[in-house]
A and B are shown apart, each in its own frame.
Chain A
Amino acid sequence: MSEIALRPVVLPAPIPVRELLPWAVFGGLMLLMAIYFIGAEEGATSLMRGTYVHEFVHDGRHLLGFPCH
């Protein structure tokens, strides 16, 4: 029993910030853009003309809790 209790906890080491940073900046930006198109495009702000994106993802936008008309 004591062997089990004294066994050191082994955890994966942290990923260095300089390795993480480029992924976080570019990946994070792309992913936030994707959420913007699903959640807010053609609502309060529009990057494209018309209301097609808004109407197409309409149900998802309401059910995922984003503000909508």
Chain B
Amino acid sequence: MVGSLLLRGMLVGIMAGLLAFGFARVFGEPQVDHAIAFEEQQAQAAGEASEPELVSRSTQAGIGLLTGTLVYGASIGGLFALVFSYVQGRVSGFGPRGTAALIALAGFVVIILVPQFKYPANPPSVGNTETIEARTQLFFILLTVSILAAVASIGLAKRLASQYGTWNAWIAAAAAYLIVMASAEYALPPINEVPEQFSAAVLWDFRVASLGIQTVLWAAIGVLFGAVAERKLVDRRDGRPVASIAVR
């Protein structure tokens, strides 16, 4: 059962990655081009020779971007299926479609939205080569903190539910998660490597496009995986689970 859900998750992720690629082509690539034009203009003004292209721009924006979004989509889709396999029937009291939608929403908030508030996506020419090590470490530290805080909050909600009711327990858990993340993001060092003359409008558009790509990806995975998992787990004729039945 887990194997077939994992396979389905990865296939759904590839479809979602394809949608994300389309969105990235239309809304993201123009911003990348603006940023690279700025980079070259700065290099020219400084009298530096332009960098030799190892991979052409059209390859980067075409098959390279497609590879990135498809592999990323398949990976997120597969991990999604593994989380779903554990959560279904344990944490969530919803059916497969509701559970998948909730995991997608929570995943987007915990893995993308909240960490990106502190360390947002940056276009080319923003970010020094010398600081890539520190920036990568901080990025993954914040990501790990966010995931751990979310898991702990869900555990807290489960524990509080019997005493204070489900609604109150989940509100308390969400507040606990937000307090932990606000503290972590306050404590971690800021990163601002935007060049003085870089267009604020391009930076904004780039970051909105980046969040848009992730929104498309996670929404597509949540909706598509829910439909696919329901076909696998629930008999469509009588609406009863195919494998084992749990009556509540």
Interface residues of A (CB under 8 A from B): 8-15, 17, 19-20, 23-24, 27-28, 31-32, 34-35, 37-40, 43-45, 51-52, 55-69
Given A19-B1, A59-B24, A59-B61: 13 more A-B contacts, CB < 8 Å: A12-B233, A13-B244, A15-B2, A20-B85, A24-B85, A28-B79, A31-B79, A44-B137, A52-B54, A57-B64, A62-B124, A62-B210, A63-B32
With a CB–CB cut-off of 8 A, which chain A residues contact B46?
none
Interface residues of B (CB under 8 A from A): 1-3, 6, 24, 28-29, 32, 54-55, 59-61, 64-65, 67-69, 71-72, 74-76, 78-79, 82, 85-86, 88-90, 93-96, 112, 116, 119-124, 127-129, 132-133, 135-137, 139, 206, 209-210, 213-214, 233-234, 239-248
Q: Are A59 and B132 in contact (CB under 8 A)?
A: no
With a CB–CB cut-off of 8 A, which chain A residues contact B247?
8-10
Q: Are B1 and A62 in contact (CB under 8 A)?
A: no
Q: How far is the CA of A24 from the CA of B116 in the complex (A)?
A: 26
Say how far B50's CB is from chain A's closest CB, in angstroms. Answer: 15
With a CB–CB cut-off of 8 A, which chain B residues contact A13?
89, 241, 243-246
Q: How far is the CA of A48 from the CA of B83 in the complex (A)?
A: 31
Instruction: Find A67's partner among B3, B72, B94, B136 (CB 8 Å cutoff).
Output: B136
Closest 8 CB pairs of A and B: A60-B68, A14-B89, A65-B121, A44-B136, A13-B244, A12-B241, A55-B55, A67-B135
Q: Are B60 and A11 in contact (CB under 8 A)?
A: no
With a CB–CB cut-off of 8 A, which chain B residues contact A24?
2, 82, 85-86
